[in-house]
Structure 1
Amino acid sequence: MEIPNRYKINTSSFQHYWTKGAGVKLLKKLDHTPNLDDAKKLIPYLYAYDESADKLVKQLHQQVGFVKGQQLIKDYLIDHKSVLPPFKYALDSFFKQIDTSPSWLNWDLLEKGIGISQRSGLNGLIVLRDYCLMGGYESAAINKPLIYTGALKKGAVKRLADTVEFWVDIMQNQSLKKDQIGFLKIIETRMIHSYSRINILSKTDWKKDDWGIPLNQWDMLATNLGFSLVFMVGLQHMHFQILPEEITAVLHLWKYIGYLLGISLELLPDTEQEAIQALYYWTMTQKEGDADSKLLANALQQEPLAAYYPTSALGRKMMREIHLYYNYYLLGNYSCQLLGLNKPRFGAIAHLNILKNKIRNSKLMTDKHRHMMIKKGRSEQLEVKRIYLTYNKRENNKNS
């Protein structure tokens, strides 16, 4: 069995997470600490990838160009007869492999997961940015595709705007039905992954012996866990109330999203215990962050200064301090120092939001109050998306 150089027992960032950080509480939910010898069975997934999407990209995007290829997918999902052969045949073959109503899918549970994500409001977007995305930079390997596709040159502003737009769109009610925006966004993202992988392997000096395959199945699972399990851990640290059945709902939601993104079903967890074990196996067999990790972390740290909102320079500096405060609050000093993040000087005002959550969640939430919070949270998320699209993405695209 091939074992890439990236595979090693972690003795720094993630070990700290499981022994002194948020992982301690997670492990208590298991009846034992997972045996890392069992993680070896997952090594082949570092070389496994989304072959069906790669095949479509070669038959479609590489023939007509990436932008037109994405448009043809959009046209096909609206009316499959509108796309002419030979591209229609390629699209027919690809979508024939996707079961949009598999026997294991529970739409009510999935929609409940969307409702929880909406209810998280601004807290959810803070956790995604300052905990999930920033914390992901602690692994050198999973971020190498970003380096090889020139993400640093494109800037953190555009990358964050794209992530916010994607997440808010897929968290719309009923959005994962085949004719809705969330489904389209997921398929478009799947194509981006394949297009990037093909170009990295064909046009760069990517070393499989070091990193495995770019955007491989195991790293895709780790990203999925970041948006589901880790996301909920971050919300709970922000004193956001999540009930046990809601944890199952969010995991079910991301199981279907992961399936649509081309992740092997056997990797995707159904229960919190399965998710914790999966996260443990991946994190504890990762090389620690490197110089590229620090570059990516610094780019995200500086993103508020490079953004176009708030419109004043002072407002952008304050926004940077607030995000740094959340970085340290959610990730802890140890991780932030490994990533080379500056310490916040006056961002502690952000703690008022955490105190507000604590007070709010000390009370029993009625169904009526929960529905009100879902509506309020969704409104907050749509406003953040509007801000990114209005002030950031438009200006950043002019420079790309």
Structure 2
Amino acid sequence: MSSNIRSYWDYTFEWTDLHQTGEQLRPMMFTYDKLADECLERLEALAPPTNVSDAQKGHPDPKAPKRDLFALLKAHAHDDPKLGELWAQVNTVPQWVDWQQIKRGQEVFFRYGLPILNVLNFESLLGGMGSARVVETLARTGGFSADVVRRRLLETLQHVLQVSESLDAMKPGGVGQISSIRVRLLHASVRARILSLVKLRPEYYDVDKYGIPINDLDCIATINTFCTSVIWMGLPRQGIWLREQEVSDFLALWRLVAHYMGTPTEPFASQPTGRAIMESLLVSEIDPTDVGKILAQNIILGLENTAPAYASKEFMEAMARHLNGGKLADRLNIPRTNMYYQALIYGYCFVVMGLAYGPRLIPKLDQTFIDFRRRVYYTIITGRDGLGGETFFEFKYVPFYTRTTRLGKRRVSKPAPYGIEALAKMGLVAAVFAAVTLLSGGVFALRMLATGVAFG
């Protein structure tokens, strides 16, 4: 075996010259999107933020006018050189963009919609709570408390759907581009707020240990969770491998998202660099802490038996263990599940493999499924049982000195007769039926062969 073969968190890979150690990555903990921060200062001078005292009490004023930082940026881009610089940057399409490739990358998301959504929830986000540095910022916002985490995740999914909506969505002025800029300004708001608290109380957040909040490395890791870890970890663990062209197309889509969000794009320029940064982050960043354990468990507590998945706590725990591996799940205090729920996960994988590999063999059927999911998913996420309307990524989860995130309590909820768990049950039955049919057919064929040999 090569001396360069490494194994971390149930994932094995070969270390190459493209990989980077923790020490090599460390400088990016102290670089960040300064342009967005400088623009935020100007935007806040134009429209000062509301007093955070109500937010500290957990009861923001619903009648208070919502401040739209993107609208302010657009309206004043020609009045201020710094705002103009940001506006020009986000509205300049990089030379490496191939719009047909971006279109194909969007179709990848909808071709493998269900398994990708499960990766985002239970591997990218929940497993991402194993990052010791990132959770220090997330815990201070309160956005991952058990009672609000569901909405927080749905808001993230809205952004994912908007950048995948259509080709026009990712062009300047499109909903995907605009939502990416809104998230960029939201990140700047969180960063500025935490750093302002640190000035008065340095012990509030250890900048030397954790880096600048939402720094370049954090932002690269965020894009990683939406594309590279989906491609090479989350989907294969569900039995799905993308074709080479699909991998390049999906990377290209999220590289463009990174550009709009002010994130360094070089790590996503090619398959080798994308895979290397994913594996480097797996080695250097994943080191679960007690805070990360709380946030990971709150995700499951907040999603139990809720739309759109309608999954039980036990099923989600089994899914989390399957997608993240036993070692990381153990460190995040995700309970081990019994054989029944483990079997359900294999039933689920049987279904999504069929939905993934079947339609793509027939181009017209494949496009029909893509168009259907494109229409339905956004309605589900933003509809009455989801967000109840589009979010504009306002700065709602405001950090302050006494805010932290505690382990939530399990709610009393009834299991639903539909949803992903019901789908997994059908898949398990179908898988057992297929196995019995194949076994019976094999036994019958052997008997026929034996009979023929005897008479021969």
TM-score class, shorter-chain normalisation, is 0.7 to 0.9
Q: Could you say what secondary structure the match of 1:389 adopts?
A: coil
Cα distance in 2 for partners of 1:89, 1:391 equals 35
Asked if 1:264 is matched to 2:271, the reply is no
Name whichever structure is richer in helix by fraction.
Answer: 1
Cα distance in 1 for partners of 2:228, 2:303 equals 26
What's 1:294 paired with? 293
Cα distance in 2 for partners of 1:194, 1:112 equals 31
Shift of 1:44: 1.4
Shift of 1:383: 4.2
Shift of 1:63: 4.5
- AA aligned to 1:370 is D
Q: 1:180 aligns with which of 165, 174, 181?
A: 174
Q: 1:224 to 1:89 in 2, by over 3 A?
A: same
**TM-score of the superposed pair, with normalisation by structure 1:** 0.81
Cα distance in 2 for partners of 1:380, 1:250 equals 21
Greater RCO, CA 8 A, separation 6+: 1
- AA aligned to 1:243 is R
Q: 1:65 to 1:122 in 2, by over 3 A?
A: farther
**TM-score of the superposed pair, with normalisation by structure 2:** 0.71
Q: Could you say what secondary structure the match of 2:165 adopts?
A: coil
Q: 2:133 aligns with which of 138, 141, 161?
A: 141
What's 1:375 paired with? 371
Cα distance in 1 for partners of 2:256, 2:49 equals 26
What's 1:390 paired with? 388
Q: 1:129 to 1:62 in 2, by over 3 A?
A: farther
Cα distance in 2 for partners of 1:125, 1:161 equals 11
Shift of 1:34: 4.8
Higher Cα Rg, which structure: 2
Identical columns (%): 20
Shift of 1:366: 2.7
- AA aligned to 1:71 is D
What's 1:237 paired with? 237
Q: 2:97 aligns with which of 101, 105, 117?
A: 105
Deviates more, 1:121-130 or 1:375-384: 375-384
- AA aligned to 1:202 is S
- AA aligned to 1:374 is I
CA contact (8 A) 2:73 2:87 kept: no
Q: 1:298-309 residue pairs with structure 2 within 5 A?
A: 298-305=297-304, 309=307
Shift of 1:92: 2.2
Shift of 1:38: 5.7
CA contact (8 A) 1:134 1:300 kept: yes
Q: 2:318 aligns with which of 298, 301, 325?
A: 325
What's 1:23 paired with? 11
Q: 1:167-206 residue pairs with structure 2 within 5 A?
A: 167-174=160-167, 175-204=169-198, 205-206=204-205
Shift of 1:241: 4.7
Q: 1:354 aligns with which of 349, 354, 359?
A: 349
Runs of 5+ consecutive residues of structure 2 not aligned to the other structure:
51-64, 199-203, 399-456
CA contact (8 A) 2:227 2:254 kept: yes
CA contact (8 A) 1:161 1:388 kept: yes
Cα distance in 2 for partners of 1:399, 1:178 equals 28
Q: 1:308 to 1:265 in 2, by over 3 A?
A: closer
Cα distance in 1 for partners of 2:230, 2:178 equals 23
Cα distance in 2 for partners of 1:127, 1:243 equals 18
CA contact (8 A) 1:112 1:246 kept: yes
